[in-house]
Chain A
């Protein structure tokens, strides 16, 4: 297993380097070249020339990449002239807020999806199962912004229960303290995730229910509930860990849209705002960070899977 983990870590490092190569390439594809695109149409020739020298754009590409990558390793993701802040500073400020939003939604989604999946597996092909499957189909097909809008209309305007706007604050503590403002953003992101999670739990539990150990436990007189909770769930939830890793890109994308609809001051909202005004350093920096987070996330999921499930043998 050690060999597998080492190989997996090396693979992830390679992907991270390649992703940075992609963003580096995009930097050079910017309209009018990086200097003009970043400094804007009103920059003078002198300013452009100075910018080119400062950022080593006059050196050979391979040297540029080396210097740029070295900068990345030291946390230098560039400078946003539109916001007058370093990109890394912006990300350090915004990323935790996005991660909190995602974590809350994942927890809520799991709390709802796992019992749902178990219920559907036990009552498979009954009316209840079909109705829930129908719901997951609809939620799966529903764009997150539409779901967010419907929730706002229903639970902010028709029934004035929750705020239609996410908490507005620079401090994470204030955001977390405003539970009312968090309800709808978290609910939106959770609802679009529940569909996939409950489908997965359903099939995983169904598969495990046919295993020999379930029959043995039943023959020993264990009650149905005990078999499910003590024996089946333990095994059935292992693949859900992998699913968590795999759904990270979708969660980041979902967070971007949810943050945009609810004005939640996270990284997705920042990305959207800066995409509209074409603040390229921020766009490239955030893309890189999100990609690295995704790679690290799926690596962690794979490691967790290897640790949790000793039956799997990793060879070659």
Chain B
């Protein structure tokens, strides 16, 4: 016979559930501060944050400081290697690569973040409603999620992009449509346990409606899961935009993004024009790794916040 000592996380959750309502000296602010402390102490989190902020500055403030021609092509200046005039050389139609990296980054980051926000909002509401109402509503809503999850994302996205010709706005909607399923599942799981808590019961006793319970009680308490997942969603969405653009079905031509910069560069792999491939490629990898670091650190921060209160 074995006596298994309870796992540390498990023990923490149990005591947490019992102690939380009667513990007076745990105002919400200190919980956030605890989380913040853990986040700041995490070196990878700081690296991730710095990288993200640097890229935002580079893409959105950079073009104001470093002016380059990104509208008119200049074939006389095409395929130039890096020089003092063009820090990262020029591409096959003469655009300055360094400037294009900024402009292209704007699309990648904008679409990635907007799609992640949209997917998170829709997924959160969907999951919270399904989990809170339960029963037949839950079953139907979650079968919808299962069904869409069964279709490999890239195929669904390419199909949608082929049906509805993409503008930037539509691309955001399409990517969000492929991405809201994960937050929906996560939030539903969280809701199933949250809806049985005393404060939710109390709100119902006092005559609060479903809408109030979901918006004022369930969602705020699932915020950790939601925020952490949203961070990973940004990373995924940036990868997906890049993939679609690389395949020639992403942001439409006058716009640039890191994916179609890379795909333009592929024509010259054999010529050794590294400046058309490495900079956008490196930018994608750095931003995606940075958002992953952020997500991991946020998860740790939220877990500690829960465990130590």
Contact = CB atoms under 8 A, between A and B. Distances in A.
Nearest to A254: B154
Interface in A129-187: 137-138, 140-146, 149-150, 152-153, 157, 164
Interface stretch (B14-22, B55-63, B206-214, B241-249): B241-249
A227 B149 CA distance: 39
Q: Is the interface of B mostly helix, strand, loop or mixed?
A: helix
Name the residue among A30, A141, A253, A283 with the largest chain B CB count within 10 angstroms: A141
A31 B156 contact: no
B289 A291 contact: no
A220 B219 CA distance: 53
A271 interface: yes
Contacts of B289: 137-138, 141
A153 B263 CA distance: 14
B162 interface: yes
Contact of A287 (B155, B263, B292): B155
Given A149-B266, A212-B2, A291 B292 contact: no
A22 B145 CA distance: 12
Contacts of B248: 276
Interface of chain A, main secondary structure: helix
A290 B151 contact: yes
Interface string B126-166: 00000000000000000110111111111110111111100
A22 B151 contact: yes
Contacts of B144: 18
B294 to A, nearest CB: 12
Contacts of A149: 262, 265-266, 269, 277, 281
B24 interface: no
B193 to A, nearest CB: 17
B151 A294 contact: yes
B151 A287 contact: yes
A145 B243 contact: yes
A291 B265 CA distance: 33
A260 interface: yes
Contacts of A5: none
B143 A14 contact: yes
A73 B145 CA distance: 24
Given A143-B242, A253-B155, A290-B151, A137 B292 contact: yes
Nearest to B290: A141
Interface string B274-309: 100100010011001100100000000000000000
23 contacts: A18-B143, A18-B144, A30-B163, A137-B289, A141-B285, A141-B289, A144-B243, A146-B284, A152-B269, A153-B269, A157-B272, A249-B153, A252-B154, A252-B155, A257-B154, A257-B246, A275-B247, A276-B249, A278-B162, A280-B163, A283-B159, A287-B156, A290-B155
Given A146-B285, A252-B154, 18 more contacts: A14-B143, A19-B150, A26-B163, A138-B285, A142-B285, A144-B243, A149-B262, A157-B269, A212-B2, A248-B152, A249-B151, A249-B153, A252-B152, A252-B155, A272-B247, A275-B249, A283-B158, A284-B159
